[in-house]
Amino acid sequence: MTVKKRLVSILCVLALCLTLLPVTALAAGGSYLALGDSITTGYAPGNTAVSSPFAGQVQAMGGYASLTNRAAEGETTQTLKDRLPGLGGDIAGASLITITIGGNDLMNALYGYLVDSYNAKNPTKPITLESLKAALMDLSQLGNQLMLMQVISYIGGFDGSSAETAALDTFEANLGGIIDQIRRENPSAPIVIATQYNPYRHITDQSAQGIVAAFETGVVHLNERLTKVAGEKGLLVADVYTAFRDDGGQLTNAAFSMSDLQNASLDFHPNQAGHNKIAAVIYGALPGESRKTIMLGTSGISGWDSTNGYDYIYFGNWTAPNENTTSGPIKWRVLDDQANNGETGLFLLSEDLLGSGDYGDVYFDRSSGYNLDWQGSEAQTWCRNFYSSNFSAGEQSAVLGTTKSDEEFISSIGKFVFWMYEDILNGDKVFFLSAEEAEKSEYGFTNDAARVANYGTRGGDWWLRSRLNSSAPPCAGVIDYYGAVIYGDMGYDYAARPAFNLDLNAVLFTSAAAGGKSASGMDSGLTAVGDYDGDEWKLTLLDNSRKFAVTESTASGNPGDTITLHYTGAATGTKEYISVILADNSGPQYYGRVAQPTSANGTVNLKIPDSLADGTYTLNVFSEQYNGDYKTDYASAFAVVSLTVEDTIAPTLRGGGATRTSETNATVKFTSDEAGDYYYEVVESGETAPTIDTTGTGTSCASGANTIFLTTLSGAGAKDLYMVAKDAVGNVSDTLQIKIPEYIPPVYGISADTNVDFGTVTEGYAAPAEQTVTIRNTGNQPVTLTQPVDTASFTVGALSSAELAVGQTAAFTVRPKTGLAPGTYSETLALAGQSGTYSVGADVALRFVVEQRGGGSSGGSSSGGGGGTPTYSATVTEADHGTVTVSPKNAAKGSTVTITVMPEQGYQLDTLTVTDSQGNQLKLTGQGEGKFTSTMPGGPVTVQAVFAPIPEEPEQPLPFADVDETAWYYDGVRYVYEKGLMTGTSATDFSPGTTTSRSMVAAILWRMAGSPQVDYVMDYADVEQGQWYSEAVRWAASEGIVGGYGNGLFGTNDPITREQLAVMLYRFAQKQGYDVSVGENTNILSYTDAAQVSEWAIPALQWACGAGLITGTGDGSTLTPQGDTTRAEAAVLLMRFCEAYVTW
């Protein structure tokens, strides 16, 4: 039977296909013009495009007949303004114009600022705008990663800089000119401009928060200018910024993790999800009515229309009998906003097909002789069973009983005739569609495709209630899986697609099926009801059995106040709540399940929303059973309370500081706890506070952080800014005073030791001792020094530091060259540096005198003739594990012969013998340090040494009670103690957890260098002469191994940080000539806190990590560069350093 049924269906479809005509979907009409940058072009990394750019989505959503996309990658307001004259025809014919612009204006200014900042710090390796962009888009290279770390340190300075201000001024002026040009060509088309988003907001890596914050500030400033122009020119603003900010997901291509920079990307373009969001926001900004996520009754739900399609309602719960269908809330298509018999109600049709077997197992009728009527058929019985099994009692009460007659109907395709029936529906709750209803265009059935429905995962056939005008065999209407209206034998099984009419009086309110009543905060208090551009709904039905009441009929308060209501008759249980809808004349504005009662009677506290404006509102308070998304809820009738809100609380302002960039310009920051307008006046510092006039129009003030850009100050003196803020209802804040500092013009300069005299020597002199020249930054701006070079007569050493902060010093050494001829050598050594765009310099006078050697002559010598004295050889027998040398190797009788023995490491001299030619042992006299002497006999001798291993001495326990043998630092403490590098803090304590001071490390390195004495004048107020560390600090400073703080202090007793210790060891290693090249190929960016490393410490930490001296802290993922170094850490680090580089 199944095969026969399928064959009949296929034949019917083939016959119908002969008469089918093409169907063309017609758009609503109009032309859409998209202007802007690469966001509008749909750019994606790799010069590709997203699969569905927002412009195409807006065209489809709005039904525009054509889309003309004239966007260009890299577009700025200037380039768009220049291109507009060539787009006149496109502009004039547009019904809608959208613009995305401004991002490149801001980015180009930022990149320019970063290039200038980078080049000021790296004058010998300057970069260009193009090379910076390329580097930041390819972070797989170590050099680019290091550049990024520097960029992060500069980027914060862009906020309020002259570069940012100039870019914003240009953007604002150009945008206004662009709109004026467009309006001359097209005075009436809506123009929608999108605000800029922060592309990095979703990035959580701590190292990138400087970038995130800088972009947030820049984008806010740009959007302030954008919305200002939009208000002046009458543009529609698509608030993409807020939509991206509130989404919480990743809407751009940017991905950043300091631990995985190889795969990082700073690409700021939106991904596909971002384009979807932009499309929704732009479409939502177009003129038209918007719906809320909660609406009273069913007023916002409508039947099918050609522009917006269908609304859907979730109602009932399907229990799937097998795997062919899926259990869960049933989705219904709203065919019409009135019942199918013309009465009041909503006409609903299930979206999916229901049933049980392979094809549905729903039969129209299989009774003997077949029942040809709907009434009493198996199909009607299925609908009744469905109604009672899949609708709750509350839902059943919301279903209308339907009575309706069907007229004779001839299908449009196939011309099948379906009989007329009087009262074919007679109080039916659930039923199947008629053939006429299945072809009704008012229900959206404009073609076969509109009727296709799925049974499980594939299209299926479904029953109609109409009987075919034939009795051989008896047939009823069927929609096949192609959507065609055909017929089938009543004894065959198909699927069901039930329909019913919803009683509007049973619906208290509707809400978005997902999130409408489950948005964050709605489960605990009143939360704003948002706009809704979706089409899926759920119902809250009126439950008349609930006798809930509230004693109060009126209430009043300020925003933020809490009011108390007394209630009776509340239902209790796990899903039972007291809920409130706060509504104004336009409908619900807030909803919340404010309490879960434990008894029928009691009180409930309700907080008035902080942002609620003055006025009168309705509080609809009710007892509600809330069942979750997609499921029907039940509630009592509203207990209505009239709420009067009067805002009497003024905004509170707090100052955020001010910076001065010139005599005329300053940036002032403040915060407000309420939106409104702000007003201000600027007076000279110390003047009487003015009275602020708030009668006019102020400047828009956001709730939160705000910035005032002052550009018309006069005079360099300090100023006082006095300001107030006024909220929407006229409450004025207290006056806030913000002090603007005086403008101190930049001072650029360096000084140095002016005269260096090396005195007078005689020709043939040994190299004089080098002298140290100290350079000081005497200005108030940082300086980058240029390495001085050798002169004709003097050799110049390396600078201790090229970067000079304000007040800091740097040093280098100088000495005369050797071999100079007699004469006086007076030369000037020119020192130079760069401070921003300014050059600085100083001169050092060098002097050295070489005198000609005085009188005198060399003396003569004589020697006698004759046969001479005979000598005898001393032969050394080769020894293992050591060497033996004899001097002289041939000596006369009676001469002294010196024998030197040198054991290998780990060995010592066991025996040493000297025998003559007769085998007699000669006397040896020890001279110390491996030297022995013997008297040469009158003949040759043989020297033989035997070396033996040095016996291992038993390891003596450390004297420190606080150093356990199992501690991770035990070996390090033993090493430094035995080598004399560190001692205990007492006879019995090492204090491994206490910090190591800067002077202590200087003393350790000084001892390792042999405790040299140097002639160097220190300028540190906290380094006293004659202390245990004084000569060590003098030596370390003279060698450039460590410097002071630049304020005349060395920080003698300050704890040394981990990065400072690494730098001191690094510089010590360089001075000792150790190979530190391992740091050149070491990447420290995998550590999560690498961005906290000071720029001057990066090479040292790269070397320390590459050499294995530092292996990370905690779980090994951090460097903790700013952390203080404990004595235990210092001991281990010194041990690793010495074992790698030092030969004792």
Q: CA of 754: how far to CAs of 450, 691, 776, 844, 1046, in Å?
A: 94, 57, 12, 5, 20
pLDDT for res 150? 63
User: What's the rounded Cα separation, in Å, for the pair 1032 and 1038?
Assistant: 10
Please choose, from the candidates 691, 763, 698, 758, the residue with its C-alpha nearest in 3D space to the C-alpha of residue 726: 698
Torsional sign, CA 321, 324, 328, 330? negative
CATH topology of domain 750-851: Immunoglobulin-like (2.60.40)
Write the Ramachandran bin of 237: left for phi over 0, alpha for psi from -120 to 50, otherwise beta. beta
pLDDT for res 138? 65
pLDDT of residue 181 exceeding 50:
yes
- Between 616 and 954, whose confidence is greater? 616
Q: Taking the CA of residue 331 as centre, how many other CA atoms within 13 Å lie in the half-sphere pointing to its CB?
A: 15
Q: CA of 1132: how far to CAs of 388, 977, 1103, 1126, in Å?
A: 79, 11, 16, 10
pLDDT of residue 148 exceeding 70:
no
Tell me the DSSP string of 652-695: -EEEEEEEE-SSS-EEEEEEESS-EEEEEEEEETTSPPPPPP-S
> pLDDT digits over 481-539, tens only?
999 999 998 889 999 999 999 999 999 999 999 999 998 889 989 999 988 888 999 99
CATH topology of domain 514-645: Immunoglobulin-like (2.60.40)
- DSSP state, residue 770: P
> pLDDT digits over 548-562, tens only?
999 999 999 988 899
Question: Which H or E element spans position 116?
Answer: helix 103-121
User: What's the rounded Cα separation, in Å, for the pair 258 and 240?
Assistant: 28
CATH number of 31-285: 3.40.50.1110
According to CATH, where is 3.40.50.1110 located in the chain?
31-285
- Between 1143 and 1094, whose confidence is greater? 1094
pLDDT of residue 137 exceeding 80:
no
Span 866-878, average pLDDT: 73
pLDDT confidence band for 143 (50 / 70 / 90) = low
pLDDT confidence band for 772 (50 / 70 / 90) = very high
> pLDDT digits over 418-442, tens only?
999 999 999 999 999 999 999 999 9
User: What's the rounded Cα separation, in Å, for the pair 996 and 566?
Assistant: 67
E-only strand ranges, 78-161: 96-100
- DSSP state, residue 222: H
CATH number of 653-740: 2.60.40.10
pLDDT for res 351? 96
pLDDT for res 14? 31
Helix (H/G/I), strand (E/B), else coil: 386? helix
pLDDT of residue 1007 exceeding 90:
no
Peptide bond into 888 cis (omega under 30): yes
For 116, the token pair is 């200038």
> pLDDT digits over 277-325, tens only?
899 889 888 866 568 899 988 877 888 887 778 999 999 999 999 888 9
Q: Dihedral through CA 795, CA 799, CA 804, CA 807, nearest 10? A: -70
Report the mean per-residue pLDDT for the chain.
Answer: 86
**Vertex 1044, ends 789 and 794: CA angle to 5°?**
20
Amino acid making up residue 456: G
Q: Which of 340-354, 627-641, 766-780, 854-868 has the lowest mean pLDDT?
A: 854-868
CATH topology of domain 872-949: Immunoglobulin-like (2.60.40)
> pLDDT digits over 209-242, tens only?
777 788 888 899 999 999 999 888 888 999 999 8
Question: Which H or E element spans position 593?
Answer: strand 587-595
pLDDT confidence band for 63 (50 / 70 / 90) = confident
pLDDT confidence band for 453 (50 / 70 / 90) = very high
Q: 366 φ, ψ to 5°?
A: -120, 15
> pLDDT digits over 1038-1069, tens only?
888 888 777 788 888 888 998 999 888 999 98
Span 387-410, average pLDDT: 96
Percentage of the residues of the chain whose pLDDT score is greater than 70: 91
Question: Which H or E element spans position 1054?
Answer: none
Whether residue 1041 contacts residue 1056, with contact meaning beta carbons closer than 8 Å, is answered with: no
For 421, the token pair is 């029936």
User: What's the rounded Cα separation, in Å, for the pair 637 and 545?
Assistant: 10
For 273, the token pair is 């999800």
pLDDT for res 213? 80
In this prediction the pTM is: 0.45
- Between 741 and 231, whose confidence is greater? 741
pLDDT for res 145? 58
pLDDT confidence band for 151 (50 / 70 / 90) = low
User: What's the rounded Cα separation, in Å, for the pair 516 and 529?
Assistant: 8
- DSSP state, residue 1053: T
What are the CB-based long-range contacts (under 8 Å, 24+) for 328-334? 328/630, 329/538, 329/630, 329/631, 330/390, 331/536, 333/444, 334/301, 334/302, 334/303, 334/304, 334/310
- Between 855 and 336, whose confidence is greater? 336
User: What's the rounded Cα separation, in Å, for the pair 608 and 646?
Assistant: 11
pLDDT of residue 98 exceeding 70:
yes
Whether residue 399 contacts residue 500, with contact meaning beta carbons closer than 8 Å, is answered with: yes
Please choose, from the candidates 1104, 1099, 1103, the residue with its C-alpha nearest in 3D space to the C-alpha of residue 1125: 1104
pLDDT of residue 76 exceeding 60:
yes
Angle between helices 129-136 and 103-121 (to 10 degrees): 100
Q: Beta partners for 428? A: 402
What are the CB-based long-range contacts (under 8 Å, 24+) for 852-858? 852/762, 852/763, 852/822, 853/762, 853/763, 853/764, 854/762
Question: Which H or E element spans position 333?
Answer: strand 328-336
pLDDT confidence band for 22 (50 / 70 / 90) = very low
Span 1116-1129, average pLDDT: 88
pLDDT for res 855? 34
Span 1103-1111, average pLDDT: 86
pLDDT for res 1094? 84
- Between 18 and 229, whose confidence is greater? 229
Tell me the DSSP string of 1030-1047: HHHHHHHHHTTS----SS
pLDDT of residue 25 exceeding 70:
no
Alpha-carbon 693 to chain mean position: 42
- Between 512 and 368, whose confidence is greater? 512
- Between 954 and 860, whose confidence is greater? 954
pLDDT for res 47? 64
Whether residue 283 contacts residue 507, with contact meaning beta carbons closer than 8 Å, is answered with: no
Span 42-62, average pLDDT: 82
Span 590-615, average pLDDT: 92
For 323, the token pair is 């795997």
Please choose, from the candidates 398, 400, 432, 433, the residue with its C-alpha nearest in 3D space to the C-alpha of residue 315: 398
Burial label, 71 (beta-carbon count in 10 A; 0-12, 13-18, 19+): buried
> pLDDT digits over 779-817, tens only?
888 999 999 999 999 999 999 999 999 889 999 999 999
**Vertex 773, ends 771 and 776: CA angle to 5°?**
160
According to CATH, where is 2.60.40.10 located in the chain?
653-740, 750-851
Q: 960 φ, ψ to 5°?
A: -95, 120
